[in-house]
Structure 1
Amino acid sequence: MKIFSTIERRQLDKINGIVVHQTASPTAQSAFNSYSNAGANGAHFLIDKDGTIYQTASLYKTTNHVGLLQSRCIVTKRCSPSELKAASSIRNAKLLTRHESKKAFPDRFPMNEDSIGIEIVSAAPKKDGKEIFDAATEAQNGALKWLVKELAETLGVSMQETYRHPEIGRKNPTEASTAKW
């Protein structure tokens, strides 16, 4: 356990989802260094390249790890026609996030206030001008599979509510694309 109070925010009362990320930094230590900064963003767990799992924030505190939300209504097309029209009319990502955050779960994706974040250590070198995340190692995927299962069972979170960051947030589509749980 390596808790960083600098990434902890408000009280976390209900956990509805798990979000898998990649660090865009090559080592666990580089992620820890960034977590040490006042007001840093981070996740509840970090999985090193060798599969070592570090808990970096309390499960009773939120962390800023999701960022701008996508609309569950738009992504899944499982909503009323009027809600689909309303969500589709919002072109600004911040305004759409504000719109989504007013909804109760499960009408929206899990967000900072009700999800656990897991970071996988991975560099993201630029290729053809775009950041492409390195693949998760076999050890990382083994640790991730174990951790997601344990969290889901312990916290009563549906496995269907475990997401790669780009599936619910506005992020690089290669982030966590090779993560397996």
Structure 2
Amino acid sequence: MSLFIDRGGIVDAERIKIKIFPLIERGKLGAVNGIVVHQTGGGNSDGTFSSYSKKSVSGEPPNGAHFLIDKDGTIYQTASLFRVTNHVGFLQSRCVLTKKCTPTELQSALALEKTKGNRARALAVHAAEKVKRFPDRYPSNSDAIGIELVGEAPGERGKEVFVTVTDQQTRSLQWLMKELMETYNVSMQETYRHPDIARKNVTEAKTAKW
């Protein structure tokens, strides 16, 4: 069965608690082409909720995802499913990672990878991917639902390793993913861990299963 979603993009389901944070909502979310699974850097949901509730020192709104699954398996909806949230970050090249570039695409991609500076390089690749239409690119903020798993990433800076997803989180994630894939007709091939499609810590959500 598909999820019941009301006019405001809010899910009506016993297993989901509603805790919407308007600051993480951006523009209108159109077609949903994928689902991206994340892990938080903080070890509890209260810390994430706090970050969702305030702007940065420079006045920028916070990033966030549509759902958050606590360590005990509790599922929270944190943003409307009709609104974009910033959860994906800089996209990587789909044709490069899947080894399906045309000669022209590969030449362009290799040229972008020569951009000096990690951030500048990531931004250049992202800008090139962003103008492509799905499925020539990975699902992005504009067409993907984001799910956060409360986690934690201990370790020295640059070598952080995300903790293992709990059994309760796994059960809730499997249920939620199944419901969302049926509701939006998203294939298993278009569901990803965050590092699969963006430039993120490779251990993020590595132990997540669905």
TM-score (norm 1): 0.97
SS in 1 for 2:112: coil
SS in 2 for 1:118: strand
Alignment map for 1:23-172 (pairs within 5 Å): 23-38=40-55, 39-91=61-113, 92-126=121-155, 130-172=159-201
Is the Cα contact below 8 Å between 1:77 and 1:84 reproduced in 2? Answer: no
SS in 2 for 1:89: helix
TM-fit CA distance, 1:130: 1.2
Larger Rg: 2
TM-fit CA distance, 1:88: 2.0
* Cα RMSD for the two superposed structures: 1.1
Which letter maps to 2:54?
Answer: N
| Residues 129 and 73 (structure 1), Cα distance of their counterparts in 2 relative to 1, 3 Å cut | closer
Off by >2 Å, runs of 4+ in structure 1: none
Which letter maps to 2:170?
Answer: N
**Paired positions, count:** 181
Show the counterpart of 1:20. 37
SS in 2 for 1:147: helix
SS in 2 for 1:117: strand
Which letter maps to 1:22?
Answer: Q
TM-fit CA distance, 1:147: 0.6
Query: What do residues 11-64 of structure 1 show as CA deviations (whole Å, max 9, x unaligned)?
Result: 001100000000011001110000001300000000000111000000000000
| Residues 51 and 95 (structure 1), Cα distance of their counterparts in 2 relative to 1, 3 Å cut | same
Query: What do residues 58-104 of structure 1 show as CA deviations (whole Å, max 9, x unaligned)?
Result: 00000000001100011001231211221121021101100000000
Which letter maps to 2:78?
Answer: T
SS in 2 for 1:87: helix
TM-score (norm 2): 0.84
Identity in percent? 59
| 1: CA distance, partners of 2:134 / 2:156 | 37
| 2: CA distance, partners of 1:95 / 1:178 | 30
Is the Cα contact below 8 Å between 1:15 and 1:155 reproduced in 2? Answer: yes
Is the Cα contact below 8 Å between 1:19 and 1:117 reproduced in 2? Answer: yes
